[in-house]
Structure 1
């Protein structure tokens, strides 16, 4: 079954790009300064004015040409061809095996915090000594 539209229905393309971006009609309506019903009507339209298309494209983070040339089959094809669990790069991304001991990293962080605290304590002591000398008039 093909999801390709035989016509260049701009409204459907806007709807699909909006959905892929995880944006609701209400959010697009707020950005455009119109009602949600107006966005619904835009998405039902086969064609829209160039200036409105440019506004929608900017909000969706694409160019007007990207909306006009959008083809869901091509997008899905790219996703299917670039994300496979047989690829070693995706296997490494999915099956994370750290090359370090997390407890060692935790102990290192704790030791670093102790050193920082000691330096802060020394700085505070020197400040107190300086202020005491100022009060004594030295």
Structure 2
């Protein structure tokens, strides 16, 4: 039998873990959102199949469709997240924003301004003495 064409069993718990990690959400945070303990979330992530009620709560907390957890293979999970992030829905952050300045330049500018203020303060204090 050719294993490449055989349908792969979806591991729903592993999909939850991958989605959670790719979204940058810790188990503790997901547990808080679900109203369960961190150990319970860990148990969910170990199970191959989960109840529909649990899947609905988790999908709502992660803001992903239930089908993403239920049906996605390992490869499809990665593809879904790439599509999800490309759509600029990333927790309200516009991922299409292109910075028009170099942040390092701003740090240098701030540092130079602080040095100037320090020199002025030293000058004022030395005049008072």
Where does residue 66 of structure 1 map in the other structure? Answer: 68
Q: Matched residue pairs, number?
A: 81
The correspondence of residues 97-112 of structure 1 with structure 2, limited to 5 A, is none
Where does residue 35 of structure 1 map in the other structure? Answer: 37
Name segments (4+ residues, structure 1) moved above 4 Å: 75-79, 95-98
Query: Contact 2:68 / 2:77 at 8 angstroms: preserved in 1?
Result: no
Question: Could you tell me how far 1:22 is from its partner in structure 2?
Answer: 0.5
Q: Which runs of 5+ in 2 are unaligned?
A: 1-6, 87-95, 102-129
Aligned pair in 2 of structure 1 residues 74, 63: CA closer, same or farther (>3 Å)? closer
Q: Deviations over 1:87-133 (max 9, x none)?
A: xxxxxx9x9889xxxxxxxxxxxxxxxxxxxxxxxxxxxxxxxxxxx
Where does residue 46 of structure 2 map in the other structure? Answer: 44
Question: Could you tell me how far 1:76 is from its partner in structure 2?
Answer: 4.3
Partners of 2:35 and 2:15 in 1: CA distance: 20
Partners of 1:97 and 1:35 in 2: CA distance: 43
1:20 aligns with 2:22: yes
TM-score by length of 1: 0.50
Partners of 1:47 and 1:11 in 2: CA distance: 7
Q: Which runs of 5+ in 1 are unaligned?
A: 84-92, 99-138
Larger of the two Rg values belongs to structure: 1
Partners of 1:35 and 1:69 in 2: CA distance: 26
Question: Could you tell me how far 1:12 is from its partner in structure 2?
Answer: 0.3
Query: Contact 2:15 / 2:77 at 8 angstroms: preserved in 1?
Result: no
